[in-house]
Structure 1
Amino acid sequence: MIIEFEGEVFLWDARADVAMHLTAVPPELSDDIREIPRPYRGFGSVRVIARVGCSEWKTSVFPDKKTGTYVLPLKKSVRDAENLMDGGPVLVRLEVLDG
């Protein structure tokens, strides 16, 4: 399954000691991912290949209990390479590997 969406970059506020930036998969696309039959993985994560601009990497999306969506971590090297800023837009392509 391949999904594309535009999201907003935001700082994870669950832990003040970790400066992790994320973007949220829209609710309807999160529902589509949730419906894929797959074995349970740690934290309910789902393995993906993510692409933002020219940057591509293997990672996982994680369920966010607060919003009911999946979130994608945006590592610093990707944010730097693609000039992503906190609060700014990000165009994401995800290839779901689990399922």
Structure 2
Amino acid sequence: MPFTFSGAVIEWRGPAPFVFLAVPEEESEDIKEAARGQEYWGQVAVEVRIGGTDFRTALFPKDGRYLVPLKVVVRRAEGIEVGQRLTASLELAARS
């Protein structure tokens, strides 16, 4: 089942800065329900499309919602900046 949502690009500073797309709470709840039994330490493997870029990653749980990690190669390909609002679609990744 595909999920489509819009969210803000945020930065989290740990030892190094990480950039994420925040999944809204409602969609996070829907994804959590659909992924029941597929999560690994709270993370959920997904296939994501932003603009013309497809990539595979794992959703990161934070404060009751999910965050989509945005790799540098994806940010460069799509011209993504912190603070920008993006629309993304994602599907749960097939279990291997």
Q: Same fold (TM over 0.5)?
A: yes
Q: Which consecutive segments of 4 or more residues in structure 1 shift more than 4 A?
A: none
Match of 2:82 in 1: 86
Amino acid across the alignment from 1:80 = R
Inter-partner Cα distance in structure 1 for 2:24 and 2:10: 14
How many residue pairs are counted as aligned between the two chains?
A: 94
Amino acid across the alignment from 1:28 = E
Structure 1 stretches lacking a partner, 5+ long: none
Inter-partner Cα distance in structure 2 for 1:54 and 1:39: 27
Amino acid across the alignment from 2:12 = W
**Change over 3 Å in CA distance of 1:7–1:44 after alignment to 2:** same
Inter-partner Cα distance in structure 1 for 2:37 and 2:91: 15
Check conservation: 2:39, 2:45, Cα contact below 8 A: no
Structure with the higher fraction of residues in strand conformation = 2
Inter-partner Cα distance in structure 2 for 1:19 and 1:84: 15
Match of 2:93 in 1: 97
Q: Percent identity over the alignment?
A: 35
Inter-partner Cα distance in structure 2 for 1:95 and 1:44: 16
**Change over 3 Å in CA distance of 1:47–1:40 after alignment to 2:** closer
Match of 2:50 in 1: 52
Q: Match of 1:12, SS? A: strand
Check conservation: 2:38, 2:44, Cα contact below 8 A: no
CA shift at 1:83, angstroms?
0.6
Q: Match of 1:78, SS? A: helix
Check conservation: 2:48, 2:89, Cα contact below 8 A: yes
CA offsets, 1:23-60, max 9 Å, x none?
1111111111111232441x311110011111101111
Q: Match of 2:31, SS? A: helix
Amino acid across the alignment from 1:81 = A
